[in-house]
Structure formats: C-alpha cells, structure tokens
Amino acid sequence: MKKVTMRDVAEHAKVSKSTVSQYLNKRYDYMGAETKKRIEEAIRVLGYQPNYVARSLKQKKTSTIGVIVANILHSFSTQVIRAIEDYCHEQDFHVIVCNADDDPEKERKYIEMLRAKQVDGLIVFPTGENLDLYDRMIEEKFPLVFVDRLIDQLPVRCVLLDNEAASELAVDHLADQGYRRIAIMTTSLERKITPRIERISGYRKALEKHGLEPKEEYIKSLEIPSMKEEVKNMLSLPEPPDAILAANDMALMEILSAVKDENIRVPEELAVVGIDEVSFASLFTPSITTVEQPAFLMGKEAAAMLLELTEKPERVAEKHVLRYEPSLHPRESS
C-alpha cells in the first residue's frame, strides 16, 4: 500500500506543501479557518501519519523528554509524573517514564537508552551516583533537572521539598498533642538520599526545640522488608515510643501493617503521622495525619524548567534549587 505523503495531503486540500507543514507544526497565524478545515479533512480521508523521525532530524528536536524515577511505587513519584505528563501534553511534548528502583546501574542504562533515543532532556530522581554521566551531560549543555534529591557538586536545577520543615511540622503537632517519646522510621540511608537525611535532621532539631532528647533506639533507617519487625522491636522496648513518624509513604504502610498485626490501638497506644499524602489517609480507620508535599506543583515546575532549558541550553549549568513548603493535615491517628 502506497504511503501517504505530505504532498498528497497538499494536493487533496488544494494548498501548498509548505502550508500543510505549517498546519502540522501548529503555525496558524496567517491561515484561514477554511484552509485549516480542508487540510484537517484531507489528513482524515487519506489517513496521513506525519513522519516524526524525519521531522526530528530536520528540526534537531524530538519533542520528547525522559523521566527517570527512583521508585514508581511511591505516591509522590506517581503524582509528580502525572503533573509532568499533563504539562508536557499541553506543550506538545511526549514523555517516556523509566523506573530505576534506586539502582544506579539501572539508572545508568536508562540514561544511555534515553539519550540514544535523542530525547530533548531528562528529569531525574537521582540515585546519587553516575556522576560521570551527569558531568558529561552538563558539559554538553544537555537539558537536565533533578527532582526530590540534590547532588551538591553538580550545577543542576533541582525541585524538592523543604524536608526539614516537613519533619518539624509533624513533631510540632505531636508535641502539642502531648506526645514525648517520638520515633521516626525511614528507608535506608546507605546512599545518603537527600529527603531521608534531611527529614531525620529536621526531626532531631524539632525534638530539641521542644526540650526532648533524641533517642537513637527511636531512629530507624532500614530496608522496607525489615520495617515491620523493627516496629515490633521498638514497641517491645522498656520505654516504647508513644508516637512514630513515617518519613515516607512506604514506611507508613509497613508501620500500619505492624500496628495491625500487634493489635495496637491508634492513637491511644501509638500515634502515627506520615510524610507524604496517601490516597487512603482520610479513609483509613482511624484516619491518618499526614504532611503533604505539593507534588503536582513540583512536577509542573520541573517540566517547565526542563522545557525552558531545551530552548536555552546555554543555561544548563546554572544551579538553582527550588524548595516547596509542606502542609500538615491533622486527622484521627494523632
């Protein structure tokens, strides 16, 4: 079957080939409504499919970006991806999403794959490694934005939460409710992931502000499969915590599962607060107090930053860190 070309569309619509090109590139400034209608009808009748590969070679742009998330299971990651996709859709950009599983080797492979596909830029939740790849991208003025995590030595634009403020909001709330033995649980600190470190730092500072001594047995960072058992261990201490702060949504689910297994009454025996708003927070019994990140705003800003850099690659190496304020949603669990 003969492939329908742009020339075929032009002949069917009785316009020039350049006019069809302008229509396909959404340059309608000097195009009448009747002309647009004829071209649209010709495309429909002929079944014309634009050759995006040829167009990208000509324009040296693919109108496609890559997003590499650390863990797609986090509710925050899902919300950020949705916001990025929504914004890019409005700007006629396509989005390829990859899940690195916090694995530097997977992250490296995805970076190399996406660059081989000639994406116009990358939004990354970085593992903290692969600095050689990032250095090369910066040197080549390749558009790059980080989300959720900083790599201090790299001059990269970054969008993330004020993580210390998030922990402070949670501890302030618990202390105001009369809780004094406040614990925190987060995922492993082995790779020194920014939000995990900053949330523990904010927790320590907030305890000291309220005259409460941080106890090391109340501060746990570990892999997710070990969390439930560690919650049970903490609750078996001679002086168990009377409140626990889950530093992210995955930790929150493990804590709630352990509480259920042990028939612990919330908040009578243990108050629970989570950082990251989760869809079940208001539906759970009792409803869960959370500290929310403005994930959709953060995703939209990251996308806007990246698309700006695709137009102004000379600004790629300008370091700019944009932090968003968290908000507390008090509910029945505290």
Q: Which tokens go with 118?
A: 């000639």
pLDDT the model gives residue 189:
85
* Confidence band of 29 (pLDDT split at 50, 70, 90): confident
* Confidence band of 21 (pLDDT split at 50, 70, 90): confident
pLDDT the model gives residue 198:
97
* Confidence band of 296 (pLDDT split at 50, 70, 90): very high
* Confidence band of 30 (pLDDT split at 50, 70, 90): confident
Which class for 26: exposed (0-12), middle (13-18), buried (19 or more C-beta within 10 A)?
exposed
pLDDT the model gives residue 59:
56
Per the model's pLDDT, the better-predicted residue between 163 and 58 turns out to be 163
pLDDT the model gives residue 306:
97
Contact 223, 251 (CB under 8 A): no
Residue 303 has pLDDT above 70, yes or no: yes
153-210 pLDDT, tens digit each: 899 999 999 999 999 999 999 999 999 999 999 998 887 889 999 999 999 999 999 9
pTM above 0.85, yes or no: no
Contact 147, 157 (CB under 8 A): no
Domains and CATH numbers, the chain: 6-50 (1.10.260.40), 62-161+295-325 (3.40.50.2300), 163-292 (3.40.50.2300)
Contact 299, 87 (CB under 8 A): yes
Q: Which tokens go with 137?
A: 């991208």
Neighbours of 128 (CB within 10 A): 17
| Average pLDDT along the chain | 93
Contact 166, 275 (CB under 8 A): yes
pLDDT the model gives residue 50:
75
CA torsion through residues 291, 128, 64, 78, sign: negative
* Confidence band of 292 (pLDDT split at 50, 70, 90): very high
Least confident of 18-27, 55-64, 218-227: 55-64
78-91 pLDDT, tens digit each: 999 999 999 999 99
d(CA 161, CA 258): 28
The predicted model gives 306-325 an average pLDDT of 94
Q: How far is CA 164 from CA 12, 24, 175, 320, in A?
A: 63, 48, 16, 19
